[in-house]
Amino acid sequence: MNPELTKSEIESRLRQTDPGELEKLWQTADRVRREHVGDAVHLRGLLEISNYCRRWCTYCGLSRHNRSLPRYRMTAEEILDAARQIAAFGYGTVVLQAGEDDGIEAVWLADIIRTIKQTTPLAVTLSLGERSLEELRLWRQAGADRYLLRFETSDPELFRLIHPPLGGQTLSRIDILRQLRSLGYEVGSGVMVGIPGQTYRSLAEDIDLFRQLDLDMIGVGPYIPHPHTPLGEGRIKPSVSPAEQVPNTEEMTYKVMALTRLVCPEANIPSTTALATINRESGRELGLQRGANIVMPNCTPPHYRQLYEIYPGKACINETAQACQSCLAQRIRSIGRTIGTGPGCRHRRTPPCDAQSESAAARSAPNR
Ligand code: SAH
């Protein structure tokens, strides 16, 4: 198996149920992971800086559908304190994630990014939803290194159903990913596995799109229904035959992660919290053994963490950042892997698709 897997081959592997064949897939993904990104597991300290959101996504517990959720936004001081703690833990990256929050003002955040870059060795990753090109440019100029924006599904009809557009919006998430690349960000994206309405064919298209976009980071996790959302309540029911509907299971998530590793061998792939939520015992470890090389310990102060409820029952919700650090370090060592040092950027053996783009120049810029 190699990056040349066709869409039909990807689809047939997604449908594979034979235990022997699946075992081969896990082993191949693990080997490709070792050959291309090595045994180091890079840790990205996740800070969920706000749970305000202007959108009406039908899957996400932060959406405006969820009127019962108390909202918070961390102060600049709280963010900087937490970033310093992340640096003290020896993690190489801080990830600032939030709902699509208009209250996160561009200049305010640019100042925070600049301070983090000036006072810590951290790489800064942003995951703030669909923001304007001007804002994305400003944050890049302030020193942000990476941006995560999952396209969630490559099926445009399903995307509209789960992620209704806001008036006046012109750029698609895929357009924004391309813009991020030309601004010089390392670009991350991904999908949920098993969203109602997701077919095997469209999931194979998603994996093919990861390859076409030449993503630096790819996050995939199981869809977990949230009771205060239209999809979770079953108020919206996309019509797909049961034979075509992708299940939101642990095994299906591993298949997607393993196939993603095969088609994008150099990408940074996290073993996600959603996976750890559906298998608390060993989801993190199995993800790391079936293609993943990244973990994102939650470093949000616990009283806010409870409120960043994108789905219910999230793993690690009550732990302190210290407790997460030692638990994850122990899990990583237990499977014979090491903890990565430094920012853990994508290592390229192949030149970027568009070697002339601004991104190629920015990749060698001194701030990474
Ligand atoms: N506002 C940002 C960050 C959203 S949270 C953005 O839109 O990009 C990060 C990711 O959590 C989302 O991209 C989505 O893939 C995932 N997520 C949201 N709701 C989920 C659910 N119910 N089950 C599983 N994953 C979910």
Centre a 10 Å sphere on the Cβ of residue 236 and count the other Cβ atoms it contains: 15
Q: Does the C-beta of 65 come closer than 6 Å to ligand 1?
A: no
Kindly tell me if the per-residue pLDDT of 360 is higher than 70: no
**Integer Cα distance of 347 and 16 in angstroms:** 31
Pocket of ligand 1, candidates 47, 310, 311, 314: which has the most ligand atoms within 8 Å of its Cβ, to mutate? 310
Q: Does the C-beta of 226 come closer than 6 Å to ligand 1?
A: yes
Task: At 30, list the tokens.
Answer: 């693990």
Residue of the CA atom closest to atom 20 of ligand 1: 60
- Residue of 282, 227, 275 whose CA lies nearest to 254: 275
Average pLDDT along the chain: 93
- Nearest atom in ligand 1 to the alpha carbon of residue 225 is 22
CA of 350 to the centre of ligand 1 (A): 30
Q: How far is CA 152 from CA 149, 172, 189, in A?
A: 9, 12, 8
pLDDT at 366: 38
254 and 21 Cβ atoms separated by less than 8 Å: no
**148-181 residue pLDDT tens:** 999 999 999 999 999 999 987 789 999 999 999 9
**Integer Cα distance of 149 and 51 in angstroms:** 16
* Complete domains list, the chain, with CATH: 7-337 (3.20.20.70)
33 and 291 Cβ atoms separated by less than 8 Å: yes
Residue of the CA atom closest to atom 11 of ligand 1: 310
Under DSSP, the state recorded for 6 is -
Q: Which is it for the CA torsion 213, 102, 142, 307, positive or negative?
A: negative
Gyration radius of the chain over CA positions: 19
pLDDT > 70 in the chain, percent: 94
**Average pLDDT in the 304-332 region?**
92
Kindly tell me if the per-residue pLDDT of 367 is higher than 80: no
Q: How far is CA 37 from CA 32, 41, 158, 262, 267, in A?
A: 8, 9, 33, 12, 8
**33-62 residue pLDDT tens:** 999 999 999 999 999 999 999 999 999 999
Kindly tell me if the per-residue pLDDT of 293 is higher than 60: yes
Kindly tell me if the per-residue pLDDT of 359 is higher than 50: no
Q: Does the C-beta of 59 come closer than 6 Å to ligand 1?
A: yes
**Average pLDDT in the 296-301 region?**
95
Q: Does the C-beta of 316 come closer than 6 Å to ligand 1?
A: no
**76-123 residue pLDDT tens:** 999 999 999 999 999 999 999 999 999 999 999 999 999 999 999 999
**Average pLDDT in the 119-128 region?**
98
3 state SS of 46:
strand
What pTM value is reported for the model?
0.94
**Integer Cα distance of 163 and 121 in angstroms:** 36
Map tokens 């470093």 to a residue: 299
Residues forming beta bridges with residue 199, ordered by sequence position: 245
Per mean pLDDT, which range of 66-70, 101-105, 135-139, 352-356 is the poorest? Answer: 352-356
Amino acid at 182: S
CA of 123 to the centre of ligand 1 (A): 22
Amino acid at 144: A
Helix, strand, coil in percent for the chain, rounding step 5 = 40, 15, 45
pLDDT at 318: 83
pLDDT at 3: 56
How would you class 111 by CB atoms within 10 Å of its CB: exposed for 0-12, middle for 13-18, buried for 19 or more? Answer: middle
CA of 325 to the centre of ligand 1 (A): 23
325 and 351 Cβ atoms separated by less than 8 Å: no
Residue of the CA atom closest to atom 7 of ligand 1: 129
Using alpha carbons only, give the angle 8, 13, 17 rounded to the nearest 5 degrees: 140
CA of 366 to the centre of ligand 1 (A): 32
Q: Does the C-beta of 150 come closer than 6 Å to ligand 1?
A: yes
194 and 58 Cβ atoms separated by less than 8 Å: no
**209-250 residue pLDDT tens:** 999 999 999 999 999 999 999 999 999 988 899 999 999 999
**Integer Cα distance of 368 and 142 in angstroms:** 12
CA of 356 to the centre of ligand 1 (A): 32
Under DSSP, the state recorded for 65 is T
Kindly tell me if the per-residue pLDDT of 2 is higher than 60: no
Q: How far is CA 301 from CA 50, 91, 308, 317, 321, in A?
A: 12, 16, 11, 10, 8
Per mean pLDDT, which range of 21-30, 306-315, 338-347 is the poorest? Answer: 338-347
Residue of the CA atom closest to atom 25 of ligand 1: 223
Residues forming beta bridges with residue 193, ordered by sequence position: 222
Q: Does the C-beta of 192 come closer than 6 Å to ligand 1?
A: yes
